[in-house]
Structure 1
Amino acid sequence: YVYRDFTESRSLYMSIIEKYDPRTVFGKTDASDVEPPRILIAPNRYVQGQGVLDNLGRYLRVVPSRNPAILISARGKNELGPRLVKSLGQEGIEPTFVIFNGECSALEIERIVTLLKSKVAIDSLVAVGGGKCVDAGKSVAHRLSIPSIICPSLASNDAPCSALSVLYTPEGVSEGAEFFPWSPAFVIIDTAIVAEAPVRYLVSGMGDAMATWYEADTCFRNPKARTTVGARPTLAARSIGELCAKTLFEYGVSSVQSVTNSVCDESLESVVEANTLLSGLGFESGGLAGAHAVAQSYTVIPHIQTNYLHGEMVAMGLLAQLALENRESECEKVATFFAQVGLPVNLSQVGLKGNVEDSLDEIVEAALNSSIIGNEPMELNHSVLLDACLSAHKIGLEIAKQQGQEAFAALH
Structure 2
Amino acid sequence: MEKIILSPAKYVQKEGAIATIADYVRPLGENPLFIADDFVMGITKDKIERSYAVSSGILHFENFNGEASRNEVSRIGKRIETDKIDCVVGIGGGKTLDTAKAVSYYSKLPVVIVPTIASTDAPCSALTVLYTDEGVFDEYLFLPHNPNLILVDTEIIAQAPARLLVAGMGDALATYFEARACKRSNATAMAGAQSTKAAMALAELCFETLLESGTAARLSAENKVVTKALEDIVEANTYLSGIGFESGGLAAAHAIHNGMTVIEEMHHLYHGEKVAFGTITQLVLENAPQEELYTVINFCKEQGLPTTFAELGVEHVAQEKWLEVAELACSEGETIYNMPFEVTPQDVYAALLTADKLGAAF
TM-score range, shorter chain: over 0.9
Residues 295 and 254 of structure 1: CA distance in aligned 2, closer, same or farther (over 3 Å)? same
Residue deviations 1:304-336, cap 9 Å, x none? 23x111111211211111111111522322111
Please, what TM-score do these two structures have when normalized by structure 2?
A: 0.94
- Give the secondary structure class of the aligned counterpart of 2:188: coil
- Separation in 1, partners of 2:323, 2:120: 27
Q: Show the 5 A alignment for 1:37-48.
A: 37-48=2-13
Contact 2:176 2:206 in 1 (8 A): yes
Q: Evaluate the alpha carbon distance shift between residue 324 and residue 167 of structure 1 in structure 2; reply closer, same or farther with a 3 A threshold.
A: farther
Aligned partner of 1:205 among 168, 179, 189: 168
Alignment of 1:316 with 2:277, yes or no, is yes
Counting only pairs closer than 5 Å after superposition, residues 125-204 of structure 1 correspond to structure 2 as 125-170=88-133, 172=135, 174=137, 177-204=140-167
User: Cα gap change, 1:170/1:338 in structure 2, threshold over 3 Å: closer, same or farther?
Assistant: farther
Distance 1:172 1:386 in 2: 29
Supply the distance in 2 between the matched residues of 1:389 and 1:176 (Cα, whole angstroms).
Answer: 28
The 1:352–1:175 alpha-carbon spacing in structure 2 relative to 1, beyond 3 Å, is farther
Report SS of the residue matched to 1:313: helix
In the alignment, which of 23, 38, 42 is matched to residue 74 of structure 1? 38
Residue from 351, 355, 360 that aligns with 1:392: 355
Residue 271 of structure 1 corresponds to: 233
Paired with 2:34 and 2:59, the residues of 1 have a C-alpha distance of 7
Give 1:116 deviation, angstroms.
2.7
For residues 156 and 335 of structure 1, do their structure 2 counterparts lie closer, same or farther at Cα, with a shift above 3 Å needed? same
Amino acid at match of 1:46: Y
Structure 1 contact 101–108 (Cα < 8 Å) conserved: yes
Q: Deviations over 1:94-135 (max 9, x none)?
A: 32222223333444333433x435632111110101122212
Task: State how far apart, in whole Å, the 2-side matches of 1:69 and 1:270 are.
Answer: 30
Distance 2:133 2:289 in 1: 38
Amino acid at match of 2:306: P
Per the alignment, residue 243 of structure 1 pairs with 205
CA distance in 1, matches of 2:221, 2:49: 27
CA distance in structure 2 between the partners assigned to 1:165 and 1:137 by the alignment: 9
8 Å Cα contact 1:172/1:299 also seen in 2: no
Structure 1: give runs of 5+ residues left out of the alignment: 1-34, 400-412
SS of equivalent residue, structure 1 residue 263: coil
Q: 1:59 corresponds to which letter in structure 2? A: Y
| Identity across the alignment (%) | 39
Q: Is the 8 A contact 2:38 2:63 kept in 1?
A: yes
Q: Secondary structure at the match of 1:230?
A: coil
CA pair 358-108 structure 1, distance change in 2 beyond 3 A: farther
Deviations 1:350-380 (A, max 9, x none): 2212244233233222221243121011212
> 1 CA distance for matches of 2:72 and 2:326?
29
Q: Secondary structure at the match of 2:82?
A: coil
Tell me the residue number matched to 1:285.
247
Paired with 1:301 and 1:171, the residues of 2 have a C-alpha distance of: 19
Q: 2:220 aligns with which of 250, 258, 278?
A: 258
Cα contact 2:254–2:278 (8 A) shared by 1: yes
> What aligned pairs does 1:38-117 form with structure 2 within 5 A after superposition?
38-63=3-28, 65-113=29-77, 115-117=78-80
* Alignment partner, residue 295 of structure 2: 333
* CA–CA distance in structure 2, aligned partners of residues 101 and 331 of structure 1: 42
Matched to 2:15, the amino acid is Q
CA offset digits 1:27-82 (Å, max 9, x no partner): xxxxxxxx3x110101111100111111111112322x011111111111111111
1:160 deviation in Å? 1.1
Cα root mean square deviation, aligned: 1.8
Deviation larger for 79-88 or 263-272: 79-88
Residue type at the aligned position of 2:299: F
Which amino acid in 2 is paired with 1:198? P
Q: Please, what TM-score do these two structures have when normalized by structure 1? A: 0.83
Aligned residues: 360
Asked if structure 2 preserves the Cα contact closer than 8 Å seen for 1:138 and 1:184, the reply is yes
Counterparts in 2 of 1:196 and 1:296: CA distance versus 1, 3 Å: same
Q: Is the 8 A contact 2:115 2:123 kept in 1?
A: yes
> Does the residue aligned with 2:8 lie in a helix, a strand or coil?
coil
Inter-partner Cα distance in structure 1 for 2:263 and 2:297: 22
- The alpha-carbon distance between structure 1 residues 313 and 101, as it changes in their structure 2 partners (threshold 3 A), is farther
Contact 1:234 1:286 in 2 (8 A): yes
Higher alpha-carbon deviation: 167-176 or 183-192: 167-176
Question: Which consecutive unaligned segments of at least 5 residues does structure 2 have?
Answer: none
| Distance in 2 between residues matched to 1:167 and 1:293, nearest whole Å | 19
Aligned match of 1:345 in 307, 321, 327?
307
